[in-house]
Structure 1
Amino acid sequence: MSKLAPILLCCDLDRTLIPNGNAEESPEARPRLARFCAHPAVELVFVSGRDLQLVLDGIDEWSLPQPDYIIGDVGTTIYAPRSQAGHGDGDWVHWPAWTDQIAPAWNGLMHDDVTHIFADISAIRPQETVKQGAFKASYYVDRQSNQEVLDAELHGRLWRNGVDARLVWSLDEAADVLLLDVLPTSASKLHAIEFLIQHLSFDESRAIFAGDSGNDLHALGSHINGVLVANADPAVKARARELVRAGALEDTLYLAQGGLFGMNGNYAAGVLEGVVHYLPETREYMTLAQDSCEAPG
């Protein structure tokens, strides 16, 4: 068996690796993922809307493998372990170089300034403090709101204040509520992944991003190999297909169907299925890892 070349596996958390949606999880999916990610060739990156502490809480609560890097706050923060940053073991270090790259889009403004601009709009409600970031203003949105009109009003206010921002819409299916993240235009999950690929001098063809929701669409519709887990909302699947067709990038989107190792394609099972789709040689390593686990001691 040939040596496995380096792989950069970037995964969203909620309803992608973390099975906190309405769909059923294959019981063996997360253990299989953990064994695969233990291979020294695999660099694991969590790419989440959560802040650092909520990511770490999720790792503990759901027994997820330890990542090599964390992209948090919908792409507005990047963290590396202190050991990789030359600071000894334990804890995580924020990369200020990424902040320096995204901050100019907000023209000197930060979270509190942006929320002040929107303070009188009743259709949006600020999310909890723990879900906010220095360059991330997050809101709950009334489902009855006209999203197109609201989007135009928000963009107009930002433009008049010299703020170059990206509005990212998604749906929390469990709570049945629309979510809105206001970010610098230069910040997104995709941009942060690209920054990491460049920083690590990684082979882009062996980088994979897996997600499930609206705030993953920018990356899923891009040149990066993308995986939509089977439990993703049908509307997200349809929009992702539209994006790759528009960019002639059909080869960089895979929709998990289920069937790999008898699993259903939801959550971590879909992530593994996508990895095998893009990198077929990984199937043998996943099988060997499973066999060694099941062998009698």
Structure 2
Amino acid sequence: MQGRVLNAQGLRSSGRIPRQATAFCLRAPARCRQPARRCAATAVAAQTVQDTVRQFTPFSSASGLSAPGNVTKLTDDGLFQGQTVFSKFTWPAVLGGDEVYIWGSFNDWTKGVKLHKLTRDNDAVVILPLKPGTYEFKFVVDKVWTPAPHEPTVTNCEGHLNNYRVIAPTVTFSLRAPKAESVFVLGDWDNWQYSLMLKKDASGSFSAKAHLPPGQYSYVYVVDGNVVTDPGLPLHSSEEYGDVHRIWSFEPQLFRVFYCTGWEETVLQYRRVVRGQPLSRDWQRLSMVNAPSRGNSLGVWKMATIVPTDPEETLEFVMTNGGAGAALKEDRPGVGPHYTAPFPGSFKLVKGMLRPFLRGAESRIMLVSDIDGTMIGDMSSPDAFSSSERFTDYWENSASLAGSLLVYNTGRSLGQFVDLMKKCDGKVAIPDVVVTAVGTKVWHLDETCGRCAASGLKWIEDTNWTLSLDTHWNLDVVRRLARQLVSQYSDDSLLCILDDGSEHRHRMALTADTKVLDTVVARLMEGCKRERLEVRIITSGNGSHRYVDCVPTAAGKEKALQYVRQQFGIPEHLCVAAGDSGNDILMLEGDHPSIVVGNAQPELLQWLVKQDQSGKVIYTDAAYADGILEGLARHSLY
């Protein structure tokens, strides 16, 4: 570790910038980012980045593309003038794309902001200084408009599906350095890739606010090109960067209001009040957006988010349909002129009653569930959908309002799944993603018109996942090996082919009698090894016969789960898997929380009894989807 000394500013200095760091001066979006000055010992040369904001030209008539009409304006009540919060926007490399821009309400959708691939992981990144508030935005990837799966989405009042983010300061950096010309802060929130410029005030102190995900971060200051630490703050040892400071970032305190209505447009008219005094004379208007839910019999869930200006702020509001004169409709309480949210938090307005809604203020989760025997009961039973209906009611009126994601992970093909959804007739929750054919296909819900309007019958294949399975896989060879095995048994009831890859080119599906199951699996595996193929053989089912699926090692329910989880940016501890049978074991034994429903099959129970009792895997008393709800509650994720 290199020692530090006090410099002329009275700050501890190492005299160098960490080798991996590239420090940029982040100015107003219309100007280019210039490299910060650094000492001669800096190993990484400064890079000049072109203008980050420019008019995006591919939307000319010749390109065949047009802007999607996203004209939602930023609502600004003037209370955050002069305040800026640095916020990072990322298009992960795993999503593909060469040229990436971001458009949004932060500049009234007038210009695209280019993202740059300057990180070691090749993610496209831009950091924007924005006023606190709520913003809608969308990415343009290789001239195609697309929302990012790892960012929450909403449908605005114009019917457009956009990403949605609330910008509020979660950390503040401050350093007194009266003689300094420039001060930046550099940290591990982006692997020490970018520095944020601090603004100097009249007293000689530099400060900046940033919006960071919850967690603890290490950081240092860069003063006139030299890395320094603040002698007034405690130091912590970093193996890679020596002495650093640490800071915690927490979820910001916000006003979130959810309202279920049949109005096509809903406007929240509000005013802020601090210690009994309104902060403005006029009431403000905020168009509410459609929450990511299909709603209920009362209508569609709308949502609005407001960043408070003071910890003691209260919010007074009424709901209107945005009309005027005789067309105006209002929702006011039975007693009093307006509703009042007494402090920042999450609230539901239902039938004239304002209720606390804790789930709306918590992080979104991702539930990955098997379908048959887990989400849905015995199809031959008259109450096959009773538990799934209770789950759907919970999901659409609670979890999905917080942006939580539902994924079905099934052995069914997409066609079989769509047929099932038709039979269910709304009794089963529509997922955001379907993983089919034992983890060999990933499909995203077609949300062109928003989730609330999606039928669940149209799906978009994730071709990146499909292409990733080609390595060390040869369908023709696997097909030949399977046919050779089948030819050795004269009785089709002992072994037969269900799918020879015609429907799914990364799966060979057979059914085998338990009498020959072990022999079939061993010979199939031996043949694949002999052909230098890397395959995974998955057996499932019960009774006298078993399903035998031969897939690439990169496939499978758990592999697909992790792929989708990373796409959506869900932390491992907020991803929950639920299943009932042996072919769910790989998915259930991952590092994430898991649920084994009360009606689990014997082979899964045999696995379960061998697991430790740490609480990572929960065996529920309730069966089917009721068991999922019980498991979520016991994992404290309900």
> Counterpart of 2:441?
77
1:187 aligns with 2:555: yes
In structure 2, the residue corresponding to 1:150 is in which secondary structure?
Answer: helix
In structure 2, the residue corresponding to 1:141 is in which secondary structure?
Answer: strand
Q: Can you list the C-alpha shifts for 1:138-189, whole angstroms capped at 9, x where unaligned?
A: 11101222x333322111001111211101011145xx42111111111111
Please say if residues 37 and 43 of structure 1, whose CA atoms lie closer than 8 Å, have aligned partners that are also in contact. Answer: no
Distance in 2 separating the partners of 1:231 and 1:27? 15
> Counterpart of 1:214?
582
> Counterpart of 1:48?
410
Shift of 1:65: 1.2
Q: TM-score, normalised by structure 2?
A: 0.39
Please say if residues 10 and 44 of structure 1, whose CA atoms lie closer than 8 Å, have aligned partners that are also in contact. Answer: yes
Distance in 2 separating the partners of 1:128 and 1:50? 12
1:103 aligns with 2:470: yes
> Counterpart of 2:546?
178
> Counterpart of 1:127?
498
Q: Can you list the C-alpha shifts for 1:204-233, whole angstroms capped at 9, x where unaligned?
A: 211111111111011112212111111111
Q: What amino acid does structure 1 have at the position aligned with 2:377?
A: P
Structure 2 unaligned segments of length 5 or more: list them.
1-355
Distance in 2 separating the partners of 1:89 and 1:18? 21
Distance in 2 separating the partners of 1:45 and 1:81? 10
Distance in 2 separating the partners of 1:5 and 1:271? 19
> Counterpart of 1:202?
570
> Counterpart of 2:391?
33
> Counterpart of 1:141?
512
Q: What amino acid does structure 1 have at the position aligned with 2:631?
A: G
> Counterpart of 1:156?
526
Distance in 2 separating the partners of 1:28 and 1:89? 23
Distance in 2 separating the partners of 1:221 and 1:7? 18
The structure with higher relative contact order (CA 8 Å, sep 6+) is 1
In structure 2, the residue corresponding to 1:10 is in which secondary structure?
Answer: strand
Please say if residues 217 and 236 of structure 1, whose CA atoms lie closer than 8 Å, have aligned partners that are also in contact. Answer: yes
Please say if residues 596 and 618 of structure 2, whose CA atoms lie closer than 8 Å, have aligned partners that are also in contact. Answer: yes
In structure 2, the residue corresponding to 1:118 is in which secondary structure?
Answer: helix
Structure 1 unaligned segments of length 5 or more: list them.
258-264, 283-297
Shift of 1:21: 7.1
Q: Can you list the C-alpha shifts for 1:11-52, whole angstroms capped at 9, x where unaligned?
A: 101111121379996874212110122132221111100111
Residue number among 268, 271, 278 corresponding to 2:628 in the alignment: 271
In structure 1, the residue corresponding to 2:567 is in which secondary structure?
Answer: helix
Root-mean-square deviation over aligned CA pairs: 2.7
Distance in 2 separating the partners of 1:151 and 1:85? 46
> Counterpart of 2:459?
92
Shift of 1:119: 1.0
Q: What amino acid does structure 2 have at the position aligned with 1:160?
A: R
In structure 1, the residue corresponding to 2:374 is in which secondary structure?
Answer: coil
In structure 1, the residue corresponding to 2:496 is in which secondary structure?
Answer: strand
Shift of 1:130: 9.5
Distance in 2 separating the partners of 1:133 and 1:250? 38
Please say if residues 210 and 228 of structure 1, whose CA atoms lie closer than 8 Å, have aligned partners that are also in contact. Answer: yes
Q: Can you list the C-alpha shifts for 1:118-151, whole angstroms capped at 9, x where unaligned?
A: 2132342111579951101111101222x33332
Please say if residues 50 and 73 of structure 1, whose CA atoms lie closer than 8 Å, have aligned partners that are also in contact. Answer: yes
Q: Can you list the C-alpha shifts for 1:38-77, whole angstroms capped at 9, x where unaligned?
A: 1322211111001111111122223311111111111111
Please say if residues 59 and 65 of structure 1, whose CA atoms lie closer than 8 Å, have aligned partners that are also in contact. Answer: no
> Counterpart of 1:260?
none
> Counterpart of 1:19?
377
- Assess, with a 3 A threshold, how the Cα gap between structure 1 residues 164 and 27 changes in structure 2: closer, same or farther: closer
- Assess, with a 3 A threshold, how the Cα gap between structure 1 residues 236 and 214 changes in structure 2: closer, same or farther: same
- Assess, with a 3 A threshold, how the Cα gap between structure 1 residues 120 and 240 changes in structure 2: closer, same or farther: same
Please say if residues 438 and 557 of structure 2, whose CA atoms lie closer than 8 Å, have aligned partners that are also in contact. Answer: yes
Query: Which structure is larger by alpha-carbon Rg, 1 or 2?
Result: 2
Distance in 2 separating the partners of 1:27 and 1:212? 16
Please say if residues 26 and 266 of structure 1, whose CA atoms lie closer than 8 Å, have aligned partners that are also in contact. Answer: no
> Counterpart of 1:261?
none
Distance in 2 separating the partners of 1:159 and 1:188? 19
In structure 1, the residue corresponding to 2:546 is in which secondary structure?
Answer: strand
| Identity in percent | 22
**Structure with greater strand percent:** 2
Distance in 2 separating the partners of 1:141 and 1:150? 8
> Counterpart of 1:240?
608
> Counterpart of 1:293?
none
Distance in 2 separating the partners of 1:20 and 1:164? 36
Distance in 2 separating the partners of 1:33 and 1:238? 27
> Counterpart of 2:539?
169
Q: What amino acid does structure 1 have at the position aligned with 2:605?
A: K
Structure 1 stretch 45-54 or stretch 121-130: which is displaced more?
A: 121-130
Q: What amino acid does structure 2 have at the position aligned with 1:197?
A: R
- Assess, with a 3 A threshold, how the Cα gap between structure 1 residues 13 and 131 changes in structure 2: closer, same or farther: farther
